[in-house]
Amino acid sequence: MNVEELAAVKEFETVYIADKEAEIRDGYCGDLLSDVMANAPASSVLMTIQAHKNTIAVASLVGITALVICNGRSIAPDMLEAAQEEEISLFTTDLTHFEAAAKVLALL
């Protein structure tokens, strides 16, 4: 799927779309950034509650396409700035990681 299709999930709220055509081939759930760093696949969507700019740095380094911030957490303004700078799409949702992952899995 691509970012546009991800954005169409009705429980996901779009914060920022870098490239709606960008491909998403996989997904990962994790809040431990070292674990995300080591295991999240490239061209994936990451479900996480880490709503701060270091998550963007990690996403950028491993080539994650989009983030879904789960559990209704709000995004720090500097995280959005970082996302725009690194061109990583950003969504929020009230769903848990598990529920969000189910939505993503259905689209892959």
Partner 1 sequence: MQEIPINTVTSANVVLELIYRLKIKDVMTTNLITATKETTLREIQQIMRQEKITGLPIVMGKRLIGLVSMDDIIQALDKGYIEEKAQDHMSRNLIILEDDMPISFAINYFDRYRYHRFPVLNKDKELVGMITNRDITATLLIEINREVEELERRTRRVEGGILSNELFTYYIMKNDFENAGHASTEIKKRLKSASIAPQIVRRAAIASYELEMNMVVHSDGGQLIAEYSSDRLTITARDSGPGIEDVEAALEAGYSTASEWIRSLGFGAGMGLPNVQSVADDFTISSSPEGTTVEVSINLGAKEEQNE
Residues lying near partner 1 in the complex (CB under 8 A) are found at 31-38, 42, 48, 50, 52-55, 57-58, 60-63
Nearer to partner 1 by Cβ, of 3 and 40: the residue is 40
- The Cα–Cα gap between 58 and 73 comes to 19
11: tokens are 């429980």
Give whichever of 2 and 52 is closer to partner 1, judged by the CB atom: 52
CA distances from 49 to 20, 31, 36, 102 (A): 23, 6, 12, 16
Closest approach, Cβ 81 to partner 1, in A, equals: 12
Q: Name residue 63's amino acid.
A: G
CB 40 within 8 A of CB 67: no
Least distance from partner 1 to the Cβ atom of residue 8, Å: 28
Least separation in angstroms between residue 21's CB and partner 1 is 19
Nearer to partner 1, 5 or 35 (CB): 35
